[in-house]
Structure 1
Amino acid sequence: MAKKTVDLKEKIKHEYLDYYLTKGHDPKTVYHFCKELKIKEEAYYEHYNSFAQIRADIWRSLFLETKKGIMEDDVYSSYSVREKLLAFYYTLGEMLKSKRSFVVQDFPRSPKEFIKKSQIKAFKEPYLLFVQDLVQEGIETGEIKSRSKLEAKYKEALWAQCVFIIDFWTKDDSEQFEATDAAIEKAVNLSFELMGASALDSILDFGKFLFHNRDKMRYQ
């Protein structure tokens, strides 16, 4: 019985994805969709309550399969935090290829619109937990500098980085997505330079100095 339930859920997801990519929009109603699948509506609602939830499930699967892929690599645990994030993005790129038509169609022209889409939370929420663990590990190893006022914002900054990478990938027409690989490396390296002990600390220190000495800088 459990296997049949799983098989039906996968069938619903597969048939919906085929319809969505072929027609460019959702089926008219759940009733029409179920009629084409020759299943009862109640069977559909045992797995999903909307078509948006199916898309959310696809985005969730992209994250879970990516994480599973890196965790199954025997050498992953020996990587630095920077290398772990690089491994995640490179593996995500491979996973995205298997759903490229869906990702390109479901990803709006503006990354800001993408962030607002409700189904993206299914990818974003586990991603934030994943990078929060990486940030904590990086602080413990010294790869990331602990900054009380900025530390809580690191994961959101990394989420913006992830959205940038997916957006770049959807528009990448280079051979074997080589441009995306280069973008990943540059983006990750920059983020670790900023999160580590870097010029950012000098900027912050200088900002504090200017603030505390603002009276001295006023024109007489």
Structure 2
Amino acid sequence: MAKKVTITKEFLMNEYSKFILENAKKPHTIFHFCQHLKIEEKDFYQFFPSFEKIEEQVFDNFFENTIELLHKSDEYSNYDAKTKLLSFYFTYFELMTANRSLVLYLLETDKMKLQNLKKLASFRIHFKQFIDSLNIKTFEIPQETIQKIQEKSVSEASWIQFLMTLKFWIDDTSPSFEKTDVFIEKSIHASFDLLDLSPIKNIIDFGKFLWNEKVKM
């Protein structure tokens, strides 16, 4: 007698990923996929409404596992924002590399067209929330509206930076994808250097001083 399968979200995700890797294609329909698993179609819908939602969950799981691994480190909470972001990138892409065949299939089916980027929609929300949690310091302007725009700009710019890193990783042919590691390190350092606008702040302060002195005179 066949052992009854315990259907969970993780089970469906693992079996879907396994199907893709073994067949180099997606199941034709949810019905056929459920037949393959010897489960009822209604059991599938208890966890996912479509294959697309499973694919979104893949990238969400990478994010959740990354955060869990980071917080297992006693040192992580003491890191500054830049080091936390570097740690996130290295850990996330390490998990991606361990599942590279699956990731490439999911993201390269239509050569990174908009439809494939939709698979990152849920992860994008979590990633931007993570960026916000880092409280990355920007050039301080004493105006609430401008500060809100700055905060939004940091998360949006960080998302674009992630997509650039992802594309670099997809195209990387170096051993152990070591060039991606270099790309991550240099791009994160460069982005934080751009946020360090203290020289501009000094110029503006000097301009204010000259303006006030001119008014007094």
What's the TM-score bracket when you normalise by the shorter of the two chains? 0.7 to 0.9
Which consecutive segments of 4 or more residues in structure 1 shift more than 4 A? 4-7
Change (3 A) 1:33 1:52: same
* 1-structure distance, mates of 2:116, 2:13: 23
Change (3 A) 1:56 1:180: same
Query: Which residue number corresponds to residue 209 of structure 1?
Result: none
Query: Which residue number corresponds to residue 79 of structure 1?
Result: 79
Offset at residue 116 of structure 1 (A): 6.2
If the length of structure 2 is used for normalisation, what is the TM-score?
0.80
Query: Which residue number corresponds to residue 146 of structure 1?
Result: 140
- CA distances 1:135-183 after superposition (whole Å, capped 9, x unpaired): x2x32xxxx3235253321100000111111111122121222101100
* 2-structure distance, mates of 1:115, 1:132: 26
1:58-77 maps to which residues of 2 (within 5 A)?
A: 58-77=58-77
* 1-structure distance, mates of 2:68, 2:176: 23
Secondary structure of the 1:49 match is: coil
Query: Which residue number corresponds to residue 171 of structure 2?
Result: 171
If the length of structure 1 is used for normalisation, what is the TM-score?
0.79
Query: Which residue number corresponds to residue 118 of structure 2?
Result: 118
Whether the 8 Å contact between 1:107 and 1:114 is mirrored in structure 2 is no
Change (3 A) 1:116 1:104: closer
Whether the 8 Å contact between 2:62 and 2:92 is mirrored in structure 1 is yes
Change (3 A) 1:116 1:34: closer
Change (3 A) 1:119 1:87: same
Query: Which residue number corresponds to residue 56 of structure 2?
Result: 56
Offset at residue 78 of structure 1 (A): 1.2
Query: Which residue number corresponds to residue 38 of structure 1?
Result: 38
Change (3 A) 1:81 1:5: farther
Query: Which residue number corresponds to residue 133 of structure 1?
Result: 133
Percent identical among aligned pairs is 30
* 2-structure distance, mates of 1:184, 1:193: 14
State the aligned residue count.
193
Query: Which residue number corresponds to residue 194 of structure 2?
Result: 194
Whether the 8 Å contact between 1:30 and 1:41 is mirrored in structure 2 is yes
1:43 alignment partner AA? D
1:146 alignment partner AA? E
Q: Unaligned 5+ residue runs, structure 2? A: 205-217
